[in-house]
Amino acid sequence: MSSIDRRPDPEQLLRRVQAGERRERRGRLKVFLGYASRVGKSFRMFDEGRRRKMRGQDVVVGAVQSAIEPDIEAILSNFEIVPPIIERHAGRTYEVIDLSALFRRHPATVVIDGLAYDNPPGSRNPHRWQDVDELLDRGIAVISAVNLQHIAEKQDEVERITGKRAANSIPQAFLAEADEIEVVDAPPDALIGRPGDTSICDARRLAELREIALLLAADVVEDQLQDYLESHGVTARWGAQERILVCLTPRSSARLMLESGHRNALRFHGALLAAYVESGSLGEEDRRLLESNLGLARELGADVHCLHGEDFVEAILDFAREERVTQLFLGHTGADRRLRLWERNPLERLIEAADGFDVRLFPHEEKS
């Protein structure tokens, strides 16, 4: 159970400052993300290079894909190319970025296609994305492109859809840390029937891949947005993502709320959180019920938090604001009417103060 303690941690602040400094010296990385081959990533990438060149930047090409389409070939003729080194290893041909040549040449921007390529054993770096990392460290900007099937964390999902798994991949974190990521989107119909197309490219599978790529990009953008807001001193409140918080108490209809929250989070591709306000005075039976509710929450993939606070309502409200919650799920007993004129019940206070998020009240289930 994690409790929330958001006091600024000096170590964390220092790390942030250092990361900021490092970022300033580093070259900027821009990645074009596509959901399948032939959506036009490479074209967009080279077109970006061409635009920068037209604006007077020193741009060179460090790697191209082996199969080049005619429209890309036309753009390529505009560029200086630092050819990759061809290496043969155990019967396989590898193209390795010529890092030392690029370091010597030191352009403002390098265009590198095929971000997820692997280098042969014994290379300076096992993977091309690590070569790219070195270029960035030397202050060289990189424009690159990658396909969804090469994002390590998405490979299981992609394999379930296509039945295939790409041998080489890049960690999602590398993509998430890129300064800019741009989605290259196209309807699946546009890909079917193009040259090089095979029968596995049926529209449905492509649509599923397309959805995953769009959501991946949205998640990256969400993180970047929160970073931006935090670093600009804006209290991060609403992003574009639905965030559902289920408030647990020992006697509430936890299963109903959690299952509904889970379903909602899936449908909205949102986040599911569950919170419980520690009050310390639970009987043995209630403690047991609560533990089982928390267990269920975790099984459903909820991010479970235990809150501390004098006042249940304040604790929940603070947490909901901090976590940018958009929907709050709460159980009522149906008998929550206030006892005295001047005292409002917690539910009412919560609803009154719930500015910016919806409150969904769940009926109390009779326990047998």
* Among positions 92, 104, 232, 367, the unique one binding other proteins when judged by CB under 8 A: 232
Q: Which stretch binds other proteins (CB under 8 A): 58-66, 89-97, 233-241, 284-292?
A: 233-241
Distance, CA of 368 to CA of 365 (rounded, Å) = 9
In the chain, the amino acid numbered 122 is G
Residues in the chain: 368
189 binds other proteins (CB under 8 A): yes
- Shortest Cβ 291–other proteins spacing (Å): 15
CA-based nearest residue to 328, from 240, 237, 247: 247
Q: Please say whether the beta carbons of 347 and 361 come within 8 A.
A: yes
Distance, CA of 66 to CA of 131 (rounded, Å) = 19
217 binds other proteins (CB under 8 A): yes
Classify burial at 88, counting beta carbons within 10 Å of its beta carbon; exposed 0-12, middle 13-18, buried 19 or more: exposed
Task: Please work out the total of residues on this chain that contact other proteins, with binding judged by CB under 8 A.
Answer: 66
Report the residue number, 200 or 266, with the smaller CB distance to other proteins.
266
Q: Please say whether the beta carbons of 195 and 189 come within 8 A.
A: no
74 binds other proteins (CB under 8 A): no
130 binds other proteins (CB under 8 A): no
Q: Which stretch binds other proteins (CB under 8 A): 59-67, 121-129, 181-189, 311-319?
A: 181-189
67 binds other proteins (CB under 8 A): no
Q: Please say whether the beta carbons of 7 and 33 come within 8 A.
A: no
Classify burial at 157, counting beta carbons within 10 Å of its beta carbon; exposed 0-12, middle 13-18, buried 19 or more: middle
263 binds other proteins (CB under 8 A): yes
Q: Between residue 5 and residue 34, which ones bind other proteins under the rule CB under 8 A?
A: 30
324 binds other proteins (CB under 8 A): no
Q: Please say whether the beta carbons of 338 and 348 come within 8 A.
A: yes
354 binds other proteins (CB under 8 A): yes
Kind of pairing between the strands at 85-89 and 92-96: antiparallel
User: Footprint of other proteins on this chain (CB under 8 A)?
Assistant: 30, 179-187, 189, 204, 207-208, 210-211, 214-215, 217-218, 221-222, 224-225, 228-229, 232, 234, 238-241, 259-260, 262-264, 266-269, 296, 299-301, 332, 334, 336-337, 341-342, 344, 348, 351-352, 354-364
